[in-house]
Structure 1
Amino acid sequence: MGILYSEPICQAAYQNDFGQVWRWVREDSSYVNVQDGFNGDTPLICACRRGNLKIASFLLRRNADANLKNQKERTCLHYAVMKKFTFFDYLLIILLMPVLLIGYFLMVSKTKQNETLVRMLLDAGVDVNAADCYGYTALHYACEMKNQNLIPLLLEAHADPMIRSKHGESSLDIARRLNFLQIESMLKKGS
């Protein structure tokens, strides 16, 4: 089901409808940065919520602003980092796991896609230390989700592990709280 948007280009970006996104941008290039009346999401944020790599790449090439924030003060990077496997992804992975490890390769492929998306946003100049309405940065969310693949990318882009959320918790504190020693040592090196 997902989210319903008032802006057709946002809905198309969320639903991975490349043809519609292309049509809206061709009609008026200012649509790349339009903010939805419902929650302030941009087409780029919508694409990143669902990990729609091709649409995100297209929007960035059309000068979409990676630093625009929605009403929760989140950028596209927050959503790219928070992207989880969908129920359908898990179902496919489980069903295909016994068949020549296809499920495993599907999982690896989805993880790589997400890394590519995050790298693309960092290359586009997104503020790696932008905090949302809770004071959480992308690094906070990556630690919360124990995402060992994204944390090095964020640290490489100068994400600050000492930034504190509105609850006074840093990314390093989250790693300690979740007792995730690998991430904790990564963060200590990064600070």
Structure 2
Amino acid sequence: MSANILPIVMARVICTDCSTTNTSKIMIATVHRIFRPRETVNNRNSNGVTVLMAACERGNKELITLLTESGADLNIGDKDKKWTALHYAVVNHKTDVVAFLVSSGANVNKQDSGGDTPLHLAVWNKYEDVVKVLLNSKENNNLQDSVKLDIANNDKRTPLLEAVYAAHIGIVHKLITCGANMNAIDKHGNNCLHIAAEKEEFCSEKEHITILDECCAKLGLPTEKRLSGVGVAGYLAHQGANLYRKNNENVAPLDLIGDADLKEKFKELFPPQKCMLCEVNEASMELQPCAHTVLCEDCSKINLKDAPSVKHV
């Protein structure tokens, strides 16, 4: 392909309004003719963007299908952010394109320059429908690489931590239901409870979460407080998040609960776990890679054959 043709094709793809019946069939035919030789289909512009990436940004399903059938690489990244075609589709909320790319074999776990997977970006943008499509790949046995829930980005945030930061209870619940690690920590040492406890309110509960009602009732919170930060913190603690895990500032989630009576209720409902070996000391050592806190510092020093590694929490 001539070096001068690719920018023109790219501009046409980006400018084409694919939401109308005027989607240029001439454009499709032109691309079909230009990219029929498979060696040209992955050519890039100066920013490292392929025509497939541009088509995914616009959501042009017909063109995307054509490019995929012509051998377009689904998993190469652009020059700047290292976004793949799937990243482009996710960020631009093209849900049907996301579903097509996933079913066509796009790598759902590919990380960009910030360490974000497509799932991270869907969560941060609060695109619950896109999150659902990506999570469905985990249940599809025909896909070789299903979505991994606990990949951490450059800030050490997993998708669950991103969802709590975004205060989106619907996505939080979906990720937990799919098995996300409740005790992942970010670069500040915060787990999901640290983050939730400082949130004013969570949003976007499209489907009623009954367990949230039960947790709030046990904490004595009124109905109007069920989506408050402390209400959601109760739900997260019920799901296994560590209420006593101290962050880099030596602050535990429990320390962030200002109401003294409410703090006592949290302690009653979620008491510190005792060491599974001595059953006397408080468990303070985190097993790796599972992140379960089950041993005290003394017992963690015992030389157990084939024991997982531990670190202080």
Please indicate, yes or no, whether the TM-score normalized by the shorter chain is above 0.5: yes
Deviations 1:35-88 (A, max 9, x none): 22x11111111101111111111111112110111112111000100005xxxx
Residue by residue over 1:128-149, the C-alpha shift from the partner in whole angstroms, topping out at 9 and shown as x without a partner, is 0000000011011101111111
1:29 maps onto 2:62 in alignment? no
CA distance in 1, matches of 2:124, 2:166: 8
Partner residue of 2:156?
Answer: 168
The alpha-carbon deviation at position 170 of structure 1 amounts to 1.3
Aligned CA distance change for structure 1 residues 116 and 160 (closer, same or farther; 3 Å): same
Matching of residue 68 in structure 1 with residue 56 in structure 2: no
- Whether contact under 8 Å (1:44, 1:76) holds in the other structure is yes
Q: Which residue of 2 aligns with 1:54?
A: 62
Q: Where does residue 15 of structure 2 map in the other structure?
A: 15
Structure 2 residue corresponding to 1:132, chosen from 112, 119, 128: 112
Equivalent residue in structure 1 for 2:89, among 66, 77, 80: 80
Conserved in 2, the CA contact under 8 Å of 1:163 and 1:170?
yes
TM-score normalised according to structure 2 size: 0.47
Structure 2 runs not aligned, ≥5 long: 17-26, 138-145, 181-313
Partners of 1:6 and 1:58 in 2: CA distance: 17
Distance (Å, rounded) in 2 between the aligned partners of 1:121 and 1:183: 21
Q: Distance in 2 between matches of 1:124 and 1:67?
A: 11
Identical positions, percent: 28
Matched letter for residue 47 of structure 1: A
* Aligned-partner SS, 1:133: coil
Deviation at 1:11, TM superposition (A): 2.8
In structure 2, how many angstroms separate the alpha carbons of the residues matched to 1:83 and 1:115?
A: 9
Aligned to 2:124: 144
Larger radius of gyration: 2
Matching residue of 2:135: 155
User: 2 CA distance for matches of 1:29 and 1:181?
Assistant: 45
Alpha-carbon distance, 1:115 to partner: 2.2
Q: Is the 8 A contact 1:13 1:44 kept in 2?
A: no
Matching residue of 2:50: 42
What SS does structure 2 have at the residue aligned with 1:132? coil
Counterpart amino acid of 1:39? N
Tell whether 2:174 aligns with 1:179: no
| CA offset digits 1:134-165 (Å, max 9, x no partner) | 00110111011111111111112232221111
Question: C-alpha separation between the residues in 1 aligned to 2:116 and 2:164?
Answer: 16
Tell me which amino acid in the other structure corresponds to 2:157: E
| Letter paired with 1:25 | F
Using the alignment, how far apart are the partners of 1:149 and 1:180 within structure 2? 13
Which is worse superposed, 142-151 or 160-169? 160-169
| Bigger relative contact order (CA 8 A; separation at least 6) | 1
Q: CA deviation at 1:15?
A: 3.1
Q: Structure 1: any 5+ residue segments left out of the alignment?
A: 85-113
In 2, Cα distance between the equivalents of 1:164 and 1:25?
A: 37
Amino acid at match of 2:15: Q
The structure with the largest helix share of the pair is: 1
Please report how far the alpha carbon of residue 6 of structure 1 lies from its aligned counterpart in structure 2 after TM superposition.
5.5
What is the Cα deviation at residue 124 of structure 1?
1.5
Distance 1:153 1:49 in 2: 17
Task: Report the TM-score, using the length of structure 1 for normalisation.
Answer: 0.75
